[in-house]
Structure 1
């Protein structure tokens, strides 16, 4: 799959790529969440579990955990979603009455490292960032090449903050296409594409559904482990319609389709910005910007607009790494950039034949999105090359390690 499929084009560095592979086994991709401060309180309302997971998708693990605890999955939250492939240490927050113990929990490839109570509920994004320890498999000597690319990234004041392929589905990278169909009110097409996508799927049971659209037959053929697909098929078989089928998913899962399409648009906008300017830190009149911390996490309390009166000051602050230009995750309340950047955003929207109003989904308000902003460039912290071609570094919340590795490898990562 070419990167352009998910809206990514170009690189911010000019160093040569390397022939390499990542995620060749679980130990080659280790992610440890760096949490915000969570004051512990013995009689607190929430129970927090720190869990090490091996090859678990975050949402699927949440559903298994809820099942083991005999509670609704809506009573469990988490700080960050993680890809299935790898070893991850994550924090899950469970709403249990004071005095009620979670008891013994045994789930395959899941180890509870610690458990405590707090009065603060963990919400998505309640992280400082993530630490990564990643193996890069190559037959070449690559340490010098890696360090040269990282040096250029530091000189450039950052690398492009693209959404990685995991955002779009690590095996079937089509969630953004499903999201666009939902925005276009093509609900039946969206549901069918989730169950069978001819661009990715080769399994006979998926092909049979694509040919027959017989949900009852598909329920007999689809494997038990495909719980999400089977939930949709059960709804279709029962209700004899596709409308509102995604309501069988938790909202935090069904909204991912819309978020994935927003991410695709962001990638396209950032790719066009890079092609036009080639800079990771130059501020243009009309840009929108955030102050950032050492992890490049934005302070979203104030969105700064660049004008002819403040642009010199903003460029100095940007070069110092204190602010970052932010590009829109387009929604129905999005304030678009001005100037040249605004023209880029308008061009991408026109080419997609999508408007901001489309994100206010009248047929299903739970899937609507008001929009957000994301800084266009970021820096790694404490980057080191370890023994055996392993790299260790930290990134702010929501920043994809694969986007950094893409700059280093400059080719297919898998």
Structure 2
């Protein structure tokens, strides 16, 4: 099987001319989770709001389980947050019949319990409204170009690519070249027949592979000038929902024009497949494009079709909300909110080439 690369995916606008150092220190990337609701204050689930620095979500869950002396399966979270960052997120502890846990003696480097509340429902993966990001770039060149691009992003949105962290840590080789992410390399090995016994690693590799194929589909739409327009046969995802319907109107038809108006108003959005077993739901022009990309990656789709996934759809575009920025000297700060499952690095990708710090603090 050919190596799975990530450096060829199309840009929406053009490759940025600006550069800046990203994640020189942990608080250069701040994430605050928004569940979209407030825990009700009663019930057998104890929700704990935690701030973590340079620590991964799964490790915190393991330490919480150890501290409260419960099985790890009773500790849940809505989503994983970046390790090299300062992030705030909720953890759920299912502890029926138990009093409120006292976290005053919970000691874990880089981790603070900010508050705890009870709730009557389990905290499930993916059940959150979104995240708010505050990003600081350092030693920025051409900050004015970042501002111009952000103004365009505010109006037109960005491709909803899966971000680089989905594919694993990117490392530099002895020549200073960025190497492919570990999750993607592991996925290649699985497609080539290797068995990955570690459940968590296997899950991350499968997720990386499925995400890589989605990005391939999205990049193909950009390349074919099918990104900003509703195409005959598109599966149109309703805003804020996983539901979709098929645009059966041909180009220029009243149905197609109505769908385009709804897309421009951010009410619906064309989608690309998250691959699984079963047939593609798209039709006509969109189906032809997706089948073409699938045929070019036959080993990947054959493997994913056997992994228990169902065919799903994901919107191809996102519009950051609450978008603000400030430039001061060679430091540039950007803040915005995104729906759950969307990546801040995909917004950054369109406005600045981020450089890795030589020494992370």
C-alpha displacement of 1:398: 1.0
Match of 1:314 in 2: 259
Aligned to 2:194: 187
Q: Distance in 2 between matches of 1:280 and 1:326?
A: 10
Distance in 1 of aligned mates of 2:212 and 2:244: 22
**1:344 is matched with which residue: 244, 264, 289?**
289
SS at match of 1:138: strand
Question: TM-score, length-normalised on structure 1?
Answer: 0.75
Structure 2 SS opposite 1:51: strand
Tell me what 1:204 maps to: none
CA distance in 1 between partners of 2:189 and 2:281 (Å):
23
Matching residue of 1:376: 316
Deviations 1:232-281 (A, max 9, x none): xxxxxxxxxxxxx22xx35xx6322211101000111111110110x643
Change (3 A) 1:93 1:150: same
* TM-score, length basis structure 2: 0.86
SS for the counterpart of 2:260 is helix
Compute the displacement of 1:15 (Å).
7.6
- The match for 2:343 is 400
Question: Mind listing any 5+ residue stretches in structure 1 that lack a counterpart?
Answer: 192-244, 293-297, 362-366
Asked whether 1:359 is paired with 2:304, we answer: yes
Cα deviation, residue 344, structure 1 = 2.5
After superposition, the Cα gap between the structure-2 partners of 1:411 and 1:113, relative to the gap in structure 1 and judged at 3 Å, is closer
Q: 2: distance between equivalents of 1:152 and 1:15?
A: 14
Residues 1:334 and 1:261: Cα distance change in structure 2 (over 3 Å): farther
Deviation of 1:355 after TM superposition, in Å, equals 6.6
Instruction: Report the Cα offset of residue 57 of structure 1.
Output: 1.3
* Mapped pair 1:121 → 2:62: no
Partner of 1:92: 91
**Distance in 2 (alpha carbons) for counterparts of 1:336 and 1:304:** 9
Deviation at 1:152, TM superposition (A): 1.8
**Aligned residue number for residue 130 of structure 1:** 131
Residue 171 of structure 1: how far off its partner (Å): 4.2
For residues 46-86 of structure 1, the C-alpha deviation after alignment (integer angstroms, 9 at most, x for no partner) is 11000000011112222222222222211111111112111
Give the conservation status (yes or no) of the 8 Å contact 1:51–1:89: yes
2:205 aligned with 1:286, yes or no? Answer: no
Measure, in 2, the Cα distance between the counterparts of 1:360 and 1:413: 36
Higher helix share: 1
The corresponding residue for 2:174 is none
| Map of 1:48 onto structure 2 | 47
Structure 1 residue 29: Cα displacement: 0.5
How many residue pairs were aligned? 336
Cα distance per residue 1:64-111 (max 9 Å; x no partner): 222222222111111111121110001111111233332332211110
8 Å contact kept, 1:132–1:401 = yes
For 2:290 and 2:227, locate their aligned partners in 1 and report how far apart those are by CA, in whole Å.
17
The one-character-per-residue Cα deviations of 1:277-297 (angstroms, maximum 9, x if unpaired) are 0x64310001111111xxxxx
Pairing of 1:10-409 with structure 2 (within 5 A): 10-14=10-14, 16-42=16-42, 44-104=43-103, 105-140=106-141, 142=143, 144-155=144-155, 157-171=156-170, 173-183=181-191, 186-188=193-195, 191=196, 245-246=197-198, 249=199, 254-277=202-225, 280-292=227-239, 298-300=240-242, 302-308=243-249, 310-333=255-278, 335-354=280-299, 358-361=303-306, 368-386=308-326, 387=328, 388-409=331-352
| Equivalent residues of 1:333, 1:356 under 8 A apart | no
Which of the two has greater strand per residue? 2
CA RMSD of aligned residues (A): 2.3
Q: CA deviation at 1:381?
A: 0.8
Cα offset, 1:299, TM superposition: 1.0
Deviations 1:303-325 (A, max 9, x none): 11111262121011011111111
